[in-house]
A and B are shown apart, each in its own frame.
Chain A
Amino acid sequence: MRFSATIAAICTFALTAATIPSALAAPAATASAENAEIYKSIVKIEVASQVPDYTTPWNAGHFSGGSGTGFIIGKNQFLTNAHVVSNERRVLITMHGSARKHQARVVHIAHDCDLALLEVDDFSPFEGLPHFRIGDIPKLEDEVRVIGYPVGGERISVTRGIVSRIDFRSYAHSRADMHLVVQIDAAINPGNSGGPVLQNGKVVGVAFQGLTQADNTGYMIPPPVINRFLTDIKDGSYDHYAELGVSEFPLFNPAMRKIYNLAPNDPGVLVADVSVGSSAATTVKQGDILIAIDGHEVDSSGNILMDGERVNMNEIVERKFAGDAVSLKFVRNGEVMEKSVVLKTFPPAQMYAAQYGKKPRFLVQGGLVFQPLNLNLYLSHKLNNPRVRKIFNTYLKDGFYEKHQDVLILTRLLDDPINASLGGFAGNAVETINGQKITTIEQASQLLNSANPPKFLEITFSGVDRPLVIPTKDLAEANQRIRENYGIHSQQNLEN
Chain B
Amino acid sequence: MKPFLTLLLAVLTTLGSLSSLAADYTDSVLRISSTLQNYNPSQPWDKSNPRSRRALAAVLDNGLVITTAEMVTNANFIQLETCDGEFQIPAKIHTIDYECNLALLEAIDADGKEVIAKLKPFQTAEPASIGDSLDIIQIQNNGTQLLTSGKIRGVDIVAGFAAGHYFLNYELKTSMQSAANSFTLPAIKDGKLAGLLTSYSSKDQLADLIAPEILNAFLEDAADGAYKGFPMLGVATSNTKDPHFRRWLELPQGKNGLFITRVLPDSAAANAKLQKGDVITAIDGHAIDKRGNYQDPHYGTLFWSHLVRGAKKIGEPIHFDILRDGKVLQVETKLARAPEGIIPSHTYGKAPRYLVKGGFVFQELTKSYLEAFGKDWQSRAPLNLLDALNHPEDYEKGRDRLVFISATIPTPATLGYESIRGVIVEQVNGQPVKDLPSLIAALKKAPANGIHSLTIDEQPKTIYLDATLSDQVDQQLVQRGLPALSRAKE
> Which A positions have Cβ atoms within 8 angstroms of B?
247, 249-256, 258-259, 270, 272-273, 286-287, 384, 386-387, 389-390, 393, 420-422, 456, 458, 463, 465-466, 469-471
In the complex, whether B50 has a CB less than 8 A from a CB of chain A is no
Contact status of A466 and B261, CB under 8 A, knowing A254-B469, A255-B469, A387-B387 = yes
Q: Report whether A259 and B451 are in contact in the complex, using a CB–CB cutoff of 8 Å.
A: yes
The residue in chain B whose Cβ has the minimal distance to the Cβ of A251 is B416
Q: Which of A253, A259, A386, A393 contacts B417 (CB 8 A)?
A: A253
Specify which of A259, A421, A466, A469 lies most central, judged by the most chain B CB atoms within 10 Å of its CB. A466
Residues 239-267 of B at the A interface (beta carbon under 8 Å): 241-245, 247-248, 259, 261-262
12 contacts between A and B (CB under 8 A): A249-B459, A251-B416, A253-B415, A253-B417, A253-B464, A254-B413, A255-B469, A286-B461, A384-B379, A420-B243, A421-B243, A469-B244
Q: Report whether A256 and B259 are in contact in the complex, using a CB–CB cutoff of 8 Å.
A: no
> Which B positions have Cβ atoms within 8 angstroms of A?
236, 238, 241-245, 247-248, 259, 261-262, 276, 378-379, 383-384, 386-387, 390-391, 412-417, 449, 451-453, 459-466, 469
CA gap between A441 and B259 in the complex, in Å: 30
Q: Report whether A256 and B463 are in contact in the complex, using a CB–CB cutoff of 8 Å.
A: yes
Q: Report whether B416 and A250 are in contact in the complex, using a CB–CB cutoff of 8 Å.
A: yes
A431 nearest CB across to chain B (Å): 13
CA gap between A384 and B391 in the complex, in Å: 16
Q: Report whether B413 and A386 are in contact in the complex, using a CB–CB cutoff of 8 Å.
A: no
In the complex, what residues of B have CB within 8 A of residue A253's CB? 414-417, 463-464
In the complex, what residues of B have CB within 8 A of residue A422's CB? 242, 244
Contact status of A463 and B391, CB under 8 A, knowing A254-B412, A386-B386 = yes
Q: Report whether A456 and B459 are in contact in the complex, using a CB–CB cutoff of 8 Å.
A: no
Contact status of A254 and B415, CB under 8 A, knowing A421-B241, A465-B238 = yes
CA gap between A272 and B236 in the complex, in Å: 39
Q: Report whether B415 and A252 are in contact in the complex, using a CB–CB cutoff of 8 Å.
A: yes
CA gap between A421 and B244 in the complex, in Å: 9
CA gap between A221 and B368 in the complex, in Å: 48
In the complex, what residues of B have CB within 8 A of residue A255's CB? 413, 451-452, 464-466, 469
Contact status of A469 and B460, CB under 8 A, knowing A254-B466, A259-B451, A389-B383 = no
B248 nearest CB across to chain A (Å): 4
Q: Report whether A471 and B390 are in contact in the complex, using a CB–CB cutoff of 8 Å.
A: no
Q: Report whether B244 and A272 are in contact in the complex, using a CB–CB cutoff of 8 Å.
A: no
The residue in chain B whose Cβ has the minimal distance to the Cβ of A247 is B459
Q: Report whether B245 and A469 are in contact in the complex, using a CB–CB cutoff of 8 Å.
A: yes
Q: Report whether B242 and A421 are in contact in the complex, using a CB–CB cutoff of 8 Å.
A: yes
Q: Report whether A270 and B460 are in contact in the complex, using a CB–CB cutoff of 8 Å.
A: yes
Q: Report whether A252 and B416 are in contact in the complex, using a CB–CB cutoff of 8 Å.
A: yes
Q: Report whether A465 and B236 are in contact in the complex, using a CB–CB cutoff of 8 Å.
A: yes
In the complex, what residues of B have CB within 8 A of residue A471's CB? 244, 247
The residue in chain A whose Cβ has the minimal distance to the Cβ of B243 is A421
The residue in chain B whose Cβ has the minimal distance to the Cβ of A256 is B464
In the complex, what residues of A have CB within 8 A of residue B243's CB? 420-421
Contact status of A386 and B390, CB under 8 A, knowing A249-B459, A393-B383, A470-B244 = yes
Excluding A253-B414, A256-B464, A387-B391, 11 further A-B contacts by CB distance (< 8 Å) are A254-B412, A258-B464, A272-B461, A387-B390, A390-B387, A422-B244, A463-B390, A463-B391, A465-B262, A469-B245, A470-B244
Q: Report whether B459 and A273 are in contact in the complex, using a CB–CB cutoff of 8 Å.
A: yes
Q: Which of B416, B417, B451 contacts A258 (CB 8 A)?
A: B451
In the complex, what residues of B have CB within 8 A of residue A273's CB? 459, 461
CA gap between A456 and B246 in the complex, in Å: 12
Q: Report whether A259 and B460 are in contact in the complex, using a CB–CB cutoff of 8 Å.
A: no
The residue in chain B whose Cβ has the minimal distance to the Cβ of A271 is B460
Specify which of B276, B378, B416 lies most central, judged by the most chain A CB atoms within 10 Å of its CB. B416
Q: Which of B248, B261, B453 contacts A465 (CB 8 A)?
A: B261
CA gap between A463 and B393 in the complex, in Å: 10
Contact status of A456 and B244, CB under 8 A, knowing A272-B459, A286-B461 = yes
B377 nearest CB across to chain A (Å): 11
Specify which of B243, B412, B464 lies most central, judged by the most chain A CB atoms within 10 Å of its CB. B464
B456 nearest CB across to chain A (Å): 11
In the complex, what residues of A have CB within 8 A of residue B463's CB? 253, 256
Q: Which of B244, B383, B466 contacts A386 (CB 8 A)?
A: B383
Q: Report whether B460 and A249 are in contact in the complex, using a CB–CB cutoff of 8 Å.
A: yes
Q: Report whether B248 and A456 are in contact in the complex, using a CB–CB cutoff of 8 Å.
A: yes
CA gap between A254 and B243 in the complex, in Å: 63
CA gap between A304 and B29 in the complex, in Å: 76
In the complex, what residues of B have CB within 8 A of residue A287's CB? 462
Q: Report whether A390 and B248 are in contact in the complex, using a CB–CB cutoff of 8 Å.
A: no
CA gap between A469 and B379 in the complex, in Å: 29
CA gap between A184 and B237 in the complex, in Å: 61
Pick the 6 closest A-B CB pairs, nearest first.
Answer: A252-B416, A465-B261, A255-B464, A421-B242, A253-B416, A255-B466
In the complex, what residues of B have CB within 8 A of residue A252's CB? 415-416
In the complex, what residues of A have CB within 8 A of residue B413's CB? 254-255
A202 nearest CB across to chain B (Å): 42
B276 nearest CB across to chain A (Å): 8
In the complex, what residues of A have CB within 8 A of residue B459's CB? 247, 249, 272-273
CA gap between A286 and B460 in the complex, in Å: 9
CA gap between A386 and B383 in the complex, in Å: 7
In the complex, what residues of A have CB within 8 A of residue B244's CB? 421-422, 456, 469-471
B20 nearest CB across to chain A (Å): 57
A263 nearest CB across to chain B (Å): 16
In the complex, what residues of B have CB within 8 A of residue A456's CB? 244, 247-248
A416 nearest CB across to chain B (Å): 12
CA gap between A456 and B460 in the complex, in Å: 45
Q: Report whether B383 and A272 are in contact in the complex, using a CB–CB cutoff of 8 Å.
A: no
CA gap between A384 and B241 in the complex, in Å: 26
Q: Report whether B460 and A272 are in contact in the complex, using a CB–CB cutoff of 8 Å.
A: yes
CA gap between A106 and B231 in the complex, in Å: 70
CA gap between A420 and B413 in the complex, in Å: 58
In the complex, what residues of A have CB within 8 A of residue B276's CB? 465
A12 nearest CB across to chain B (Å): 27
CA gap between A471 and B413 in the complex, in Å: 61
CA gap between A380 and B238 in the complex, in Å: 30
B142 nearest CB across to chain A (Å): 52
Q: Report whether B259 and A466 are in contact in the complex, using a CB–CB cutoff of 8 Å.
A: yes
In the complex, what residues of A have CB within 8 A of residue B241's CB? 421
B304 nearest CB across to chain A (Å): 17
CA gap between A270 and B453 in the complex, in Å: 16
CA gap between A471 and B246 in the complex, in Å: 11
Q: Report whether B464 and A259 are in contact in the complex, using a CB–CB cutoff of 8 Å.
A: yes
B317 nearest CB across to chain A (Å): 28
In the complex, what residues of A have CB within 8 A of residue B451's CB? 255, 258-259
B251 nearest CB across to chain A (Å): 12
In the complex, what residues of A have CB within 8 A of residue B390's CB? 386-387, 463
CA gap between A255 and B462 in the complex, in Å: 12
Contact status of A466 and B238, CB under 8 A, knowing A253-B415, A255-B466, A256-B464 = yes
A393 nearest CB across to chain B (Å): 6
Q: Report whether B387 and A386 are in contact in the complex, using a CB–CB cutoff of 8 Å.
A: yes
In the complex, what residues of B have CB within 8 A of residue A250's CB? 416
CA gap between A258 and B453 in the complex, in Å: 12
